[in-house]
Amino acid sequence: MSLRILSRITLAAALAGALSCAVLPDAVANTSFDPEGRFNGGRPVGAKVRGLFEMLQMQRQEVGFETKEKPGTVIIFTKERKLFLVLGSNRALRYGVGVGRDGYTWNGIHTVSNKKEWPDWRPPPEMLKRQPYLPKHMKGGPGNPLGARALYIGSTIYRIHGTHDPDSVGEADSSGCIRLTNDDITDLYGRVQVGAKVIVVR
């Protein structure tokens, strides 16, 4: 094994270990880099290190998370593009998510009103008005924009769902829905119950 490959593996392992450190709801913004490319106030890091760290931040992982919310609660920080499923005992599962683009972010407290596997997609009237070329109905399946699973949020038009475009996770280009990879939404779907509280923080 070359020294270069070994160095990359060592760096990845170190960053992965760093991700298991405690993450507080009111300090999630501190997990990003400042305009000078510094992480947590340290010295500037290279673009490759920054890119690797941000990639690892999108991976599903159990982390420290202090909250008074009960286990099973879903908390989404749209600015940081992270979703936390409260486990209890100051622990949570963290997932990377895609969020709404500018003008389509939102916040509030709701509950999971329904769950569906390989859901059909029916764009809401608001979306069809903006994008009249969209189909009025698309049957569930691998090519469906809602992906493998969907959690419906209260009486809103928004959902927490999978995607056939995993590269969109970590981006802000949806119409307000929260996107996870199909693997992650399948995992989350099996853990979240109908009636669970959903907190969205803009």
Residue 58 in this model has a pLDDT that exceeds 90: no
| Averaged pLDDT, 126-153 | 92
Q: Are strands 108-117 and 99-100 parallel, antiparallel or unpaired?
A: unpaired
Predicted confidence at residue 41, as pLDDT, reads 53
Residue 26 in this model has a pLDDT that exceeds 70: no
> 151: which 2 tokens?
């959690």
Catalytic center residues: 161, 177
- Which range has the worst mean pLDDT, 37-46, 86-95, 133-142, 162-171? 37-46
Select the more confidently predicted residue: 50 or 135.
Answer: 135
| pTM, two decimal places | 0.74
| Averaged pLDDT, 140-168 | 93
Residue reference for tokens 């691998």: 142
Residue reference for tokens 């209260």: 154
| Averaged pLDDT, 192-199 | 98
Residue 16 in this model has a pLDDT that exceeds 50: no
Residue 153 in this model has a pLDDT that exceeds 90: yes
Q: Which pLDDT band holds residue 65 (cuts at 50, 70, 90)?
A: very high
State the chain's mean pLDDT as an integer.
80
Task: Write the DSSP string, the chain.
Answer: --HHHHHHHHHHHHHHHHTTSB--GGGGGGGSBPTTSBBTT--B--HHHHHHHHHHHTS-EEEE---SSPTT-EEEETTTTEEEEEEETTEEEEEE-BEE-TT----EEEEEEEEEES--B---HHHHHH-TTS-S-B-SSTTSTTTTEEEEETTSS-EEE--S-GGGTTSEEESS-EE--HHHHHHHHHHPPTT-EEEEE-
Question: Rounded to an integer, what is the distance from CA 202 to the centroid of its chain?
Answer: 13
Select the more confidently predicted residue: 125 or 6.
Answer: 125
Residue 9 in this model has a pLDDT that exceeds 80: no
| Averaged pLDDT, 127-142 | 90
